[in-house]
Amino acid sequence: MEVTSEMEMSAVTTLKEGIRIGLSSINANRVRSSLTILGVAIGVGVVVMLAALITGIRTSVMEGFQQAGPDNFGIMRFDFSAVRTSMESGREPWFNKPIIEPEEAEQIARLPAIREALYNFNFSTTLSVDARRVNGVQSQGYSSGWPAYQPGIFSSGRDFTPQEVAQSRPLIVVSISLAEELFGGLDPVGRKIRVTSGTRAIGESFTVVGVFEPEEGIFAEAVPHFAVFPYTSAIKRLKASIFQANIWVVPDSAFSAAEAQDQVIGSMRAMRGLRPRDENNFGIMRSDQLIEIF
């Protein structure tokens, strides 16, 4: 017992001595100690701030994906969740998968479980109205009915019709912020925009048929200026590439998401002549997969 008591007293004495030395060091170097404490406090504050920022961004992105519809999914040329790259020269095998064609979207749209099958691809344009000019506008070639996949409303005008898509009409829908940039306070509907695309500066006049106001969210804030064209017009008149085209699918509410995906996969495999043992040469990307990846 005496040995234990002596050890405890020794430990207390050592602790007191350590505290005394620490306080003496702080008193002797108050400026240095203050800066050290301040540095630690700032570091902790920055870490907490970054954690909150990342959490906020992730929450906003997830809300954006969910706004597009939890049961909606995309048919992609590549399965991005399974793409792998190597340092070896030459193309990766997955790079040779066939391009998604408009006819495939038309066939998918006829399936019982599908409400919309929207052919889509992205490209960049320059838009001009008189002396006003906006470069690098994120543009999309789309099927009629694309608002089913893009939450928002038409503040003016309308979407282009299936007949107008079939006729490759020179029509354009612009975001509300882009409309304000190009037309100020004027109503753009019925007015002309000069559209230029590609390195060859291919240009043509397009008539505005609608002004679209997307729902608030991180994607709307990140891309305030965007334009939507009938995909046929983008291909024919602006020579847009369909290299990375995809099909955004909206299932019919009478069917489950799994049933819709099964019908789509079966139809795509049949159109592409795949045998039972062949792997899919296309990818299916669900909204919940995008959330999981992020």
Domain boundaries, the chain: 2-64, 73-290
pLDDT value of position 57: 43
Length of the chain, in residues: 294
pLDDT value of position 150: 84
Q: Per residue in 147-168, pLDDT tens?
A: 988 889 999 999 999 999 999 9
Q: Name the range with the highest mean pLDDT among 45-49, 62-66, 78-82, 85-89.
A: 78-82
Cα–Cα distance measured from residue 234 to residue 252, given in angstroms and rounded to the nearest whole number: 28
The pTM of the whole model exceeds 0.95: no
104: exposed, middle or buried (C-beta count within 10 Å: 0-12, 13-18, 19+)? buried
